[in-house]
Amino acid sequence: MTYTKSLHLAFVYHVPFWEKDGEIWTTFPPIGRYVDSLAPHFKKVTIASPKPLVSDQPLYRMKASNLAIFTVKPHPNLQSYYFHLVSFYISYLRAAPDWDLVNVRMPTLTGYPAYLAARFYHKPVFLVVVGENLNFLSLASYSGIKKWAINIIARLQEFLMKRMIRNSLTFTNGEDLFKKFKPYNEQVYPMRSSTISQSDLLPDVRDTCCQTPFRILTVATVAPRKGTVLIPEIIAALKYEGIDISWTYIGNTDGNAGEQELEKTLKLACELGVSSQIRFHKAVGFDELVSFYRSSDIFVLPTYMEGVPRVILEAQASGLPVITTSVGGIPQAVENGIDAILTSPGNLVEIVAAIQKVIQDPNFRRGLISKGLETAQKFTLESETKRMLDKVEEVCFTNEKKRN
């Protein structure tokens, strides 16, 4: 993979990046680490970033030295995106001549304007699809006219994403998305979205659940689709069984729906008398997040909708037994009862039973931890990035390489 080292890559996504005191920061560490993993393979990487909002916090400092930022209008919601739509098209058309290759992470609202600009100048594009808007918006708790309007917008975005996939080399996060989009293009390949480097892996297998209260961790945005409101009932059921736990939830609220979900969860926790056992914490930088993983006993993600969440690998890399749900690409990413436990989404009885099993069966727990660490070792940032870029070079630049 030497050809790409002479190329200028543009990366397009909706996460803001900005420069401060000569350093580049982002509010979302997983995307920052992804871009850092790309940078050594290119001459230059330009990040197409929305202008940061006042509320955006610097949670990750970029390590690569060959980065630049190309700023577009902020688009924190659908209304601002469509208000600035013409601006997005013009901005990308002006910038695209300097790029050799464009990577769009989907779904993202400015993906299609960037794709059109790249096509106009005959620049190759590769997509990384980590989710889909249609299912996402169906679980966003909208109602009435707003629900109707959002549904139309989601279907439009789905149509545009399929159109992009038909004409672009595409990598999907997991087998579920791969099966959905493979019929649209032969050049669609499954991958595993990862945020862990080889150096992040726990060097040795450890045991957990050695003292009470047992510490459960969830890392996710606060949103209906993540099953956040289920947690107080899970805690109450475990309390009834005489199992003392504390639950830490790390992640920011996802818009108005997330704020409502947090409010409902806290209210329910109060009603069930478990408020003191659950703590919500805003998103943190990756180094601090690793310390949360390594000071916890069990990782639980009671989600209703996913591709393959990167937090599963993060938890496994830190030696945590993982309990999650059999949705999206998760069943193809982990093996139930071997390196994780899968439950039905929304099934409190199954989730409670899984937590009890992990706590009460040390041999089973240690087996989950050991196999989980083996899984994490297979899907590091380094290995997944190389696998992806080898295919990019093969598919996008075969003719150029032959001419050279």
Domain ranges of the chain: 3-194+381-403, 198-378
User: Residue 142: what pLDDT?
Assistant: 58
pLDDT interval class at 137 (50, 70, 90): low
Tell me which of 258 and 141 has the higher pLDDT: 258
Tell me which of 174 and 134 has the higher pLDDT: 174
What class, spelled out in words, does domain 198-378 have in CATH? alpha beta
Q: Are 357 and 333 in contact (CB under 8 A)?
A: no
Give yes or no for residue 401 having a pLDDT over 70: no
Angle, helices 144-166/111-120, rounded to nearest 10 degrees: 30
CB < 8 Å & 24+ apart, contacts of 164-168: 164/104, 164/106, 164/111, 164/112, 164/115, 164/125, 164/127, 165/127, 165/129, 167/119, 167/125, 168/104, 168/115, 168/125, 168/126, 168/127
Mean pLDDT, residues 306-329: 93
Q: Are 382 and 38 in contact (CB under 8 A)?
A: no
pLDDT, tens digit (0-9, with 9 covering 90-100), for 248-302? 999 999 878 899 999 999 999 999 999 999 999 999 999 999 999 999 999 999 9
User: Residue 146: what pLDDT?
Assistant: 66
Give yes or no for residue 205 having a pLDDT over 60: yes
Question: Global pTM?
Answer: 0.87
Give yes or no for residue 403 having a pLDDT over 70: no
Give residue 388's identity as a one-letter amino acid code.
Answer: M
Helix (H, G, I), strand (E, B) or coil at 323: strand
User: Residue 397: what pLDDT?
Assistant: 82
If you write DSSP's letter for every residue of 143-202 in order, what string do you get? -HHHHHHHHHHHHHHHHHHHHHHHTSEEEEESHHHHHHHGGG-S-EEEE------GGGS-
User: Residue 154: what pLDDT?
Assistant: 77
pLDDT, tens digit (0-9, with 9 covering 90-100), for 142-158? 566 766 777 777 788 88
Q: In what order do the strands lie in the sheet with 214-219?
A: 278-281, 245-250, 214-219, 298-301, 322-325, 341-343
pLDDT, tens digit (0-9, with 9 covering 90-100), for 339-379? 999 999 999 999 999 999 999 999 999 999 999 999 999 99
pLDDT, tens digit (0-9, with 9 covering 90-100), for 217-250? 999 999 999 999 999 999 999 999 999 999 999 9
Q: What burial class does residue 332 get, using C-beta atoms within 10 Å of its C-beta: 0-12 exposed, 13-18 middle, 19+ buried?
A: middle
Give residue 89's identity as a one-letter amino acid code.
Answer: Y
Give yes or no for residue 134 having a pLDDT over 80: no
User: Residue 1: what pLDDT?
Assistant: 57
pLDDT interval class at 305 (50, 70, 90): confident
Same topology, domains 3-194+381-403 and 198-378? Answer is yes
Q: Which CATH architecture has domain 3-194+381-403?
A: 3-Layer(aba) Sandwich (3.40)
Cα angle 136-138-144, degrees, rounded to a multiple of 5: 135
